[in-house]
């Protein structure tokens, strides 16, 4: 993990405590980050996006450092934060590959109950902050766990998950053939004319939907089939239509995975008070880029810190809505 979050850390400002809590038979690990010198505080519980990533949104292939950055920034603003490792990642028990989306919702629900038990009278409000898939998990948890007072949805999506996957793969494959040369030109013509990427991956999704396995081999790679089936079965519009708490949406104008155009549909679906902010140059990684958005730039973007304006925006909304 990069040490970029030290730009917010100060010993006299915050304290961090490593804890564990139970979710069914599994023991999950997390971190409380609290401001020093305060008695009653709002607590933000963070929920990471998809893939085998830990409490900070870090994994083998990605080092995003999203929620440790957010936690330490919030602490400087007088807001506590609880972040935890997804099952089968970091220091948490369990097997990530066999986990379904519903398992992740259950884990996040238990995290809320744990925070309520841990903070007791020192807790003023609970706000769930989810990124990507976490933005779909958060409203489901709010329906299950009494005590959730608000939601922050970062880079959310509202279209069916299968469509989101198809669009991402189509973009990625078009990038691969965007170079110069006759071979790349021919590949572009084939992909554009016959939509080969979409057809091939539609077959993969169909194989997964017909399977009853938790994990299956697709094109030579192990795939979390249970998770994929559950994601394809969810109606995001229906999930958002049941939100009853104040909600703030953070959108990324250059998001290649959860397009900012979806935010208008989410706002229409949510019956509760909702605000939003779309950052024009922000990418799905919560880093900004002046260049056109490309998956190929992700490695470079991960070397940058989380966009400071995003951290300010989230903290400001939490304080204006929930600070007593």
Q: Which residue has the tokens 């994601």?
A: 231
DSSP state of 290: S
Burial readout 54-72 (b: 16 or more C-beta within 10 A, e: otherwise): bbbbbbeebbbbbbbbbbb
**Within a 10 A sphere around the Cβ of 142, how many other Cβ atoms?**
26
- Give the rounded percent of residues in the chain with a pLDDT score beyond 70: 87
pLDDT at position 1, please? 35
Q: How confident is the model at residue 198 (pLDDT cuts 50, 70, 90)?
A: low
Average pLDDT of 152-165?
94
Mean model confidence pLDDT for the chain: 89
| Percentage of the chain modeled with pLDDT above 90 | 70
Instruction: Give residue 315's pLDDT.
Output: 96
* Residue 215: pLDDT band with limits 50, 70, 90: very high
Residue range 44-62: mean pLDDT, rounded: 96
Q: Please, which pLDDT band fits residue 12 given cuts at 50, 70 and 90?
A: low
pLDDT in tens, 257-285: 999 999 999 999 999 999 999 999 999 99
Burial (0-12, 13-18, 19+ Cβ within 10 Å), 211: middle
Q: State residue 2's pLDDT score.
A: 37
Query: Environment class of residue 121 by beta-carbon count within 10 Å: exposed (0-12), middle (13-18) or buried (19+)?
Result: exposed
Calpha distance 252→74 (Å, rounded): 21
**Residue 193 pLDDT more than 60?**
no
Q: With 0-12 CB in 10 A as exposed, 13-18 as middle and 19+ as buried, what is 14?
A: buried
Q: Count other Cβ atoms within 10 Å, centred on residue 310.
A: 22
- Give the pLDDT confidence score for residue 207 in this predicted structure: 84
CA 111-284-207 angle, 5° bins: 80
pLDDT-derived band at 119 (thresholds 50, 70, 90) equals: confident
Given a cut of 60, whether residue 212 has pLDDT beyond it is yes
**Residue 37 scores a pLDDT above 90:** no
Whole-number pLDDT of residue 192: 47
DSSP secondary structure letter of residue 31 = E
Report DSSP letters for 33-49, one per residue.
EEETT-SSEEEEEEE--
What residue spans of the chain are helical by DSSP H? 66-76, 101-119, 133-144, 161-176, 182-194, 196-210, 225-233, 236-240, 262-269, 298-302, 308-322
d(CA 251, CA 284): 9
Among 91-105, 115-129, 150-164, whose mean pLDDT is lowest? 115-129
For residues 190 and 267, what is the distance between their CA atoms, to the nearest angstrom? 38
Mean pLDDT for the stretch of residues 278-295: 95
Q: Is the pLDDT of residue 51 over 90?
A: yes
Please report the pLDDT score of residue 188 as a whole number.
47
Of 34-43, 239-248, 309-318, the least confident: 34-43
Give the pLDDT of residue 8. 62
Residue 183: the pLDDT is: 47
> What pLDDT is attached to residue 168?
82
Residue 222 phi/psi, 5-degree rounding, is -70, 135
CA-nearest of 279, 311, 306, 305 to 293 is 279
Q: CB-hemisphere CA count at 13 Å for 255?
A: 23
Average pLDDT over residues 169-190: 58
């Amino acid at each position: 993990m990069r040490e970029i979050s030290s730009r917010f850390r100060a010993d006299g400002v915050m304290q961090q405590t490593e804890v564990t809590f139970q979710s069914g038979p599994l023991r999950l690990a997390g971190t409380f980050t609290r401001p020093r010198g305060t008695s009653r505080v709002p607590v933000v519980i963070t929920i990471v996006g998809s893939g085998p990533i830990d409490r900070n949104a870090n994994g083998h292939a990605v080092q995003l450092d999203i929620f440790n950055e957010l936690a330490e920034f919030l602490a400087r603003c007088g807001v506590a934060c609880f972040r935890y490792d997804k099952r089968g990642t970091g220091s948490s028990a369990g097997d990530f590959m066999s986990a379904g989306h519903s398992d992740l919702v259950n884990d996040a629900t238990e995290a809320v109950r744990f925070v309520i038990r841990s903070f007791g009278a020192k807790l003023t409000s609970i706000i769930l902050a989810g990124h990507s898939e976490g933005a779909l998990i958060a409203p489901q948890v709010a329906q299950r766990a009494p005590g959730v007072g608000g939601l922050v949805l970062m880079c959310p999506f509202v279209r069916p998950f299968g469509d989101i996957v198809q669009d991402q793969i189509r973009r990625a494959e078009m990038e691969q053939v965007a170079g110069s040369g006759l071979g790349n030109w021919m590949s572009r013509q084939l992909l554009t004319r016959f939509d080969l990427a979409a057809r091939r991956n539609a077959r993969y999704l169909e194989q997964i939907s017909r399977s009853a396995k938790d994990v299956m081999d697709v094109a030579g790679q192990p795939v979390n089939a249970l998770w994929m089936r559950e994601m394809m079965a969810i109606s995001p519009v229906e999930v958002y239509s049941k939100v009853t708490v104040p909600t703030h949406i953070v959108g990324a104008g250059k998001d290649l995975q959860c397009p900012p155009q979806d935010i208008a549909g989410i706002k229409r679906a949510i019956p509760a008070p909702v605000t939003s902010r779309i950052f024009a140059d922000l990418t799905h990684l919560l880093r900004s880029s002046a260049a056109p958005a490309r998956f190929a730039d992700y490695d470079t973007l991960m070397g940058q810190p989380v966009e400071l304006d995003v951290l300010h925006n989230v903290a400001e909304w939490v304080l204006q809505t929930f600070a007593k």
